[in-house]
Amino acid sequence: MRNLQKLAAGALDEVLAGAALHQVLPRRLQQLQTPGERGALQDIVYGSLRQLGRLDAWLDALLERPLTDPELGWLLRVALYQLAYTRAPAHAVVHNAVSAAGEGWRRGLANAVLRNFQRRRAELDKLADEQPTARWSHPDWWIAKLQSEHPAHWQAILEASLLHPPFTLRINCRHGDVAAYLRRLNDAGLPAHQTGPDAVTLDRAVPVHSLPGFDEGHVSVQDAGAQWAARLLDAQAGERVLDACAAPGGKTGHLLERSEVELVALDVDAARLARVQENLDRLQLKATLVAGDAAQPDAWWDGRPFDRILADVPCSASGVVRRNPDIKWLRRPEDIAQFAAQQAVMLETLWRLLAPGGTLLYATCSIFHEENAGQVQAFLARHAGDAERCPLPEPLSDGVLLPAAEHDGFYYALLRKT
């Protein structure tokens, strides 16, 4: 456990200095020998980031003066997370943290802080609940933005964003339906329930290769909210379809599972396109993969219009922070305007590639207005003569799917070229 605590503390230090979690964590996971150790480290790092506002408040209250040793600070936050949110034996957490702290005053301070936390837990929880950043474990500006833009739902959004994300599968309709796959899961001793037209959520996460039919392409891991994209675009057999910003390929696979289309999967990152190909190979499906920038089609487009376009544009990812908890601490308010400007350019550019009568699905994993309804309203105002918005079914009548226990947060707008 000592090694896990130090590895986790180092990862938090790097992330809060500005590095992306998806780049930091793999290097540390490679240093561990067993799946159990790797799973524990991932839980500690992700969980500590989800609850970082609360951990900060606890630590501040437990210290008589500000800590000038950042390394020790991250170690203590990790240990506090373990004491509060994991089943690790408390005596082992404290012992290993004290040992990892080093010698002299560092060792004494670690012991005092963690023992004091155990004694004062109820008092510390009350103190944290009085501070919005600690209560909700999000930056103050983020909380204020949600209060302004989602006044009736901001607390539910924040509560959902602190949950462990669900382990949801997409059933490949070419190999059966949800009911049949639920029976397969039951036979395998894996309790699950339906959470969408093609979605089942397991009671607990398991290694993907232990899932019935996973290696044969019968199922894929995909959030239930993300599964709306292919269904809303509703590409028909024989149509020419562009999946812009396709990597890692979840929506690409879903589009092809649903219909025999001529699909171009585009992504600016050639390395990430390799993951798209891996997913397609497992699903035994085919698409044309193109490395290129959706905002600069002259470098890759052959001039043939598309009947359908999925514009899953870069965004703040404010709807998926429980899966990417580093985002809420690394984002800044000014980032939202930068994403919105990038989205506007991509939307205009991709619209030129759409055939008359064709449809474009604008999609984000954001819940911020500038990136969603504000973006679409501005686009429709600019294109009053050649664009109309199509109605969406419930629960997406306004395009917004707010984060909830069984799905992440997304935004969808279906636009038809007239």
Do 418 and 356 touch, CB atoms closer than 8 A?
A: yes
Specify which residues 387 forms β-bridges with: 417
Q: Are strands 262-267 and 410-417 parallel, antiparallel or unpaired?
A: unpaired
- DSSP annotation of 106: H
Specify which residues 265 forms β-bridges with: 243, 289
Q: Is the Cα torsion angle 303, 309, 315, 317 positive or negative in sign?
A: negative
Q: Is residue 100 packed enough to be buried (19+ CB in 10 Å), middle (13-18) or exposed (0-12)?
A: buried
* Beta-carbon-side half-sphere exposure of residue 142 (alpha carbons within 13 Å): 26
| Inter-CA distances, 222 with 184, 199, 311, 362, 394, Å | 18, 8, 18, 19, 20
Residues 6+ away with beta carbon under 8 Å from 148 = none
Total length of the chain: 418
Write the DSSP assignment of 381-399 as a string of letters.
HHTTTTEEEEP--TT-TTS
Backbone angles phi, psi at 332, to 5 degrees: -125, 155
Nearest alpha-carbon partner for 339 in 315, 363, 356, 322: 315
User: How many beta carbons lie within 10 A of that of residue 245, not counting itself?
Assistant: 22
Q: Are strands 262-267 and 288-291 parallel, antiparallel or unpaired?
A: parallel
Residue 245 is a catalytic residue:
no
- DSSP annotation of 164: P
Question: Alpha-carbon distance 412 to 130, whole Å?
Answer: 35
Catalytic annotation, pick one of 173, 245, 315, 365: 365
| Residue 102: strand, helix, or coil | coil
First to last CA, the chain: 62
Nearest alpha-carbon partner for 336 in 371, 375, 362: 371
Question: Alpha-carbon distance 192 to 135, whole Å?
Answer: 31
Number of separate helices (H) and strands (E) present in the chain: 17, 12
- Residues identified as active-site: 365
